[in-house]
Amino acid sequence: MITFRSEKKIYDTLSNNLKRIQSLNLENQHVMRTISSIYFDTEDLKHFNRSEEGITPRSKFRIRSYNNDNKYSLEIKSKVNERSSKKVIKLNHFNLNEIKNLIYKTCTEKLVPKLQVSYKRKYFLSVEKKIRYTLDYDIKFSKLDYNCNILNSFKELKSVIEVKKNNDTYHSELEDLFGGDITRFSKYCEGIKKFF
């Protein structure tokens, strides 16, 4: 499955981001979920560096699970200019060698586990404008070895609002509401900078 969307992000304290969410009079869309992602990159962090430099096209490769339910998906996020796409491949189980081979078939690069990111996510919806909002908090970064063992961890004090619109690249109402608060932000890049 491949989805296309544009995203804007606001990186700030949890109290400030809660105030922003409350000001928008949004509806709750889903129950809160705990999300865990394992990110893969080359030895020399090629994908991290492309993201930091704002180079497109670029990609991220991660294994994602929800609420520790032992159900996993390989997600390949690609970005061209301001438009993002996400391909999701359901996995029957977590087997690191099989995952590496699957990634290699997709990008022909040898990627290894680098970082785990876990956090809590709340989901909101603007019914009138058909815009989805998520609020991520209690973010934890963990540096991984080649076998996905945790070497070190760091707790992030801030939170992230992500604003998502399908098949639309313009967020004029967000620019009007939040202006300079909108920023480029990547949990993967933020976590890598903590450890490397």
- 100: amino acid identity, one letter: K
Provide the pLDDT for residue 85: 85
Distance CA 123, CA 146 (A): 33
Please say whether the beta carbons of 54 and 73 come within 8 A: no
Burial of 196 (0-12, 13-18, 19+ CB in 10 A): exposed
Q: What is the pLDDT of residues 36-93, one digit of tens each?
A: 999 999 999 999 999 988 888 889 999 999 998 889 999 999 888 767 788 999 998 9
Give the DSSP H or E segment for 78: strand 72-80
Does the reported pTM lie above 0.85? Answer: yes
Q: What is the pLDDT of residues 98-109, one digit of tens each?
A: 999 999 988 888
* Mean local confidence (pLDDT), 5-16: 85
Domain-by-domain residue ranges, the chain? 2-195
| Of 179 and 153, more confident | 153
Within the chain, where are the H helices?
14-23, 46-52, 96-107, 172-178, 187-195
Grade residue 169 by pLDDT with cuts at 50, 70 and 90.
very low
Provide the CATH topology of domain 2-195.
mRNA Triphosphatase Cet1; Chain A (3.20.100)
The percentage of residues in the chain with a pLDDT greater than 90, rounded to a whole number, is 60
- Sign of the torsion formed by the C-alpha atoms of 122, 10, 57 and 85: positive
> Does residue 2 register a pLDDT over 80?
no
DSSP 82-105: TEEEEEEEEESS--HHHHHHHHHH
- Sign of the torsion formed by the C-alpha atoms of 37, 41, 46 and 47: negative
